[in-house]
Chains A and B, each alone.
Chain A
Amino acid sequence: MMNSVPTQADERQRKAVALISGGLDSLLAARVMLEQGIHVEGINFFTGFCVEGHTHAIRKKDRAKPKRNNALWVAEQLGIKLHIVDVIEEYKSVLLNPSHGYGANMNPCLDCKGFMVHKALDWIREHNFDFIITGEVMGQRPMSQRKDTMPVVARESGAGDLLLRPLCAQHLPPTLPEREGWVDRDKLLDFSGRSRKPQMALAAEYGFEDYATPAGGCCFLTDANYSRKLVDMWQARGNREYELDDIMLLKVGRHVRPSPRFKLIIAREEGEVKFLQGYAYRYPTLKVTSHSGPIALLDGTPTQDDVQLAARIVARFSKGRNADQVTVDLHLPGDDQAQQLVVTPMPPEQISESWYI
């Protein structure tokens, strides 16, 4: 798609919105534009699956480490404004019905990119900006950043030639900002392939250190374990609806499904205990009281027998694992009074490997 040029030739400073994921590539892409005198603001879309502070905020061992939101950090490095947009609801249709399918796991990268660029297009129209930049590098990602798929994102998002990828622009046809001379094409880059070396060298040149290097991708959907838990949740429920709380809980604890009717989410350490406790208003919880032990949420529709079984499993993960009897409190949401269950911890050989999701 060719976009028309404003007829009145004006010398005003051109404005670009940069998709900021929090990683190095978008940091560099925005930096390259700033160097060309473009006014850049960042936009970051929160789908609910992003690899951000979440798990760090939960696990106690990570609490000591300085926490930061990588997108905010990137914006601070660049000295640009950052707009964080909640797209949790809209993103559901991207994840549930991607027209280009999924990557290696539940990541619908190509549709996701198209969706985000489309949202950025809406944003620039609303805010009177001129074009969009991303940190994409040709050949970097198997799905969304291939030579043949990069035009798909530009086309399907509706952004067309308003979408500029400064890090690999030399491999792509000139976009409107290049043709109009808003940016100097000769100073754009020609990165390609999976090697990160050119980016690292450029980062060093600009003096960027300590940038985030997420393995795999920018979200949990590229993670095999996470994807498995997500699919398991959908299968168990018989539908693919989800809320933010559901997808957050998939990042926390040990997930054990002894039956299609229910699963347990068992805290692995103190931070997770606190986090799961916050869900007691919504889920039945099991807590070992006779010994020190974790808290577990019960998700699903367990029968009385299932609850007994669940209590025995939770007891297994407590300090009373070798005791004859362990007391487990069952709290139901909205009930002040706990029910006491006295159970024998399940022997390890009876906990099937296949129960671990």
Chain B
Amino acid sequence: MANFQLDARRLLCPMPVIRTQDRVAELRTGDELTITCTDPGAAQDIPAWCRLNGHTVLSIEHDGDELMITVQVGTES
């Protein structure tokens, strides 16, 4: 299990989801990915995408205009 980072700042919906999806496809079950975004829509879209695809959102943190979403890769990636 490892931790990875993804910079999705300045990208607008649905690009943060697409980048997350493509990155998660390269990871293994149990790996964690923290996505940093500035589009507030990502706070809905990334969890929705995770629910559909069997991944878990571990945390969503706000830091000013930035949003850090940590996702744990499920078994179905």
Query: A residues within 8 Å of B by Cβ?
Result: 44, 46, 50, 52-54, 56-58, 63, 66-69, 71-73, 75-76, 80-86, 244, 248, 274, 278
Contact = CB atoms under 8 A, between A and B. Distances in A.
Contacts of B18: 46, 84-86
Looking at chain B's contact residues, is the secondary structure mostly helix, strand, loop, or mixed? helix
Contacts of B17: 69, 72, 84
A83 B13 CA distance: 14
Contact of B49 (A63, A72, A274): A72
B52 A54 contact: no
Interface in B6-42: 10, 12-15, 17-18, 21-22, 38-41
B59 interface: no
Contacts of A81: 52-53
B52 A248 contact: no
Nearest to A278: B10
A84 B41 contact: no
24 contacts: A46-B14, A46-B15, A50-B14, A52-B13, A53-B41, A54-B12, A56-B41, A57-B13, A63-B40, A68-B41, A69-B44, A72-B17, A72-B48, A72-B49, A80-B52, A81-B52, A81-B53, A82-B49, A82-B53, A84-B14, A84-B17, A84-B21, A244-B15, A274-B65
Given A69-B17, A84-B17, A86-B18, A53 B12 contact: yes
A159 to B, nearest CB: 24
A219 to B, nearest CB: 13
B17 to A, nearest CB: 6
Contacts, number: 72
A76 B48 contact: yes
B62 interface: no
Instruction: Please give me the 4 A-B residue pairs with the lowest Cβ-Cβ distance, nearest first.
Output: A53-B13, A53-B41, A67-B41, A72-B48
Given A46-B18, A82-B52, A85-B18, 10 more contacts: A46-B15, A53-B12, A58-B12, A67-B41, A67-B44, A69-B17, A69-B44, A72-B48, A82-B53, A278-B10
B52 A72 contact: yes
A57 B65 CA distance: 12
A73 B41 contact: no
A244 B19 CA distance: 14
A166 B41 CA distance: 32
B45 interface: yes
B12 A57 contact: yes
A44 B15 CA distance: 12
A69 B21 contact: no
Contacts of B21: 83-84
A69 B14 contact: yes
B15 A68 contact: no
Given A76-B52, A84-B17, A68 B44 contact: yes
